Amino acid sequence: MPLQALKPKSKLPAVGTTIFTVIGQLAARHDAINLSQGAPNFPCKPELIRYAHEAMLEGHNQYAPMAGVMALREAIAAKVETLYGHAYHPGDEVTVMASASEGLFSAVTALVHPGDEVIFFEPAFDSYAPMVELQGATPVPVKLSAPDFAIPWDEVRAKISPRTRMILINSPHNPTGKVLGDADIEALERLTAGTDIVILSDEVYEHVVFDGAPHHSMSRHPELAERSVVVASFGKTFHVTGWRVGYCLAPRALMDEIRKVHQFAVFSADTPMQYALAKLMETPADYLNLSGFYQKKRDLLVDALKDSRLKLLQSAGSFFMLAEYGHISGEADSAFVQRLIVEHGVATIPVSAFYRDGTDQRVIRLSFAKDDATLIAGAERLCQV
Ligand SMILES: Cc1ncc(COP(=O)(O)O)c(C=O)c1O
């Protein structure tokens, strides 16, 4: 058979080049100031690199235990118990993952079966729906709308069916910067009580919650914790998104299944990075001060944009803030974003990219995970719009 005849049947036929790639390439071509990506453009603590280097020199260069280096699992369990009051067993209920992405993927692959339904909220992180489809299951979106993007719990209730296997939730939320409040937690408890629905809780921005509000980890709420898989990311917490280390927390019966997938997907996460992260976690100030660190950046960007015509929406957490522009231009958000790059030299993300049906509410996402000079320069350009 000639080689060109080898055309695999796609498991994800609707997935093409994403707007993120398009924006990234256009931004690079126009040398735009980049407020689009969630990755920090500033360095991690030098100690963290030193610890990783030391771990390599000490010979920690072979496979880590499948569930993670025990010192790191113990540090994670101790942190979670201190902050959220739930004691996960480091042996059975904590697994170090090769990124939060791998944690999410392993959890969905382990727990969602063909024909199941998974409720998730749009705008959504781009991997959620494809992960579900790869299991032969159906992603069931619940739409959040500008400007407040509150969760319509009545609609969630209406979408729960006997086939609902999982609710996938993300707080602090990318891209809206919303965080769950007490009423959301009560609604989630009420809707899931007496069901076998699993909550997959993407908490990668757990340490980035503003204005003194608490982070409502599922592990903080006993009834939710017993049906939840919590996913977290060291990349987001320690400014090392390229290291690809995160973790999952779950009751043992759920974790047993998740580990079966993790074991055969990657076996284990990077060894020297795990030693380095365990050592850094001995000084909790690094992550405990993260909300303050990012709140200053949020406030700097808000202040630098005070003369802009964009209408900023309040960010309560995460690396992101939304801005409405419908009163300035009737352009589609992707066209508006492309024009900002080409004419004004500043890159942002159109929020329609986070809806599978491209819902366009004339809103763009700005990332403030950038050094102050970049934030100020980006804001100056946005003030010209
Ligand atoms: C909401 C959300 N979940 C998960 C991830 C992925 O985290 P990681 O880099 O650890 O895979 C991101 C990264 O941007 C994110 O914004």
In the chain the domains, ranked by start, together with CATH numbers, are 3-44+288-383 (3.90.1150.10), 46-284 (3.40.640.10)
**pLDDT given at position 285:** 86
Q: Could you list the pLDDT tens digit for every one of the 385 residues in the chain?
A: 566 778 899 999 988 887 788 898 999 999 999 999 889 999 999 999 999 999 999 999 999 999 999 999 999 999 999 999 999 999 999 999 999 999 999 999 999 999 999 999 999 999 999 999 999 999 999 999 999 999 999 999 999 999 999 999 999 999 999 999 999 999 999 999 999 999 999 999 999 999 999 999 999 999 999 999 999 999 999 999 999 999 999 999 999 999 999 999 999 999 999 999 999 999 998 788 999 999 999 999 999 999 999 999 999 999 999 999 999 999 999 999 999 999 999 999 999 999 999 999 999 999 999 999 999 999 999 999 9
Distance 350 CA to ligand 1 centre (A): 18
- Residue of minimum CA distance from atom 13 in ligand 1: 38
Distance 128 CA to ligand 1 centre (A): 11
- Residue of minimum CA distance from atom 8 in ligand 1: 100
Query: 292 and 83 in contact (C-beta within 8 Å)?
Result: no
Q: For residue 384, how many other CB atoms are within 10 A of its CB?
A: 12
Q: Using a 6 Å CB cutoff, which residues line ligand 1?
A: 38, 99-101, 125, 170, 174, 202, 204, 233, 235, 241, 246
Atom of ligand 1 nearest to the CA of 103: 11
Q: Is 81 left (phi over 0), alpha (psi -120 to 50) or beta?
A: alpha
**pLDDT given at position 265:** 98
**pLDDT given at position 303:** 98
**pLDDT given at position 130:** 96
For ligand 1, mutation pick of 120, 125, 266 (most atoms within 8 Å of CB)? 125
Distance 6 CA to ligand 1 centre (A): 33
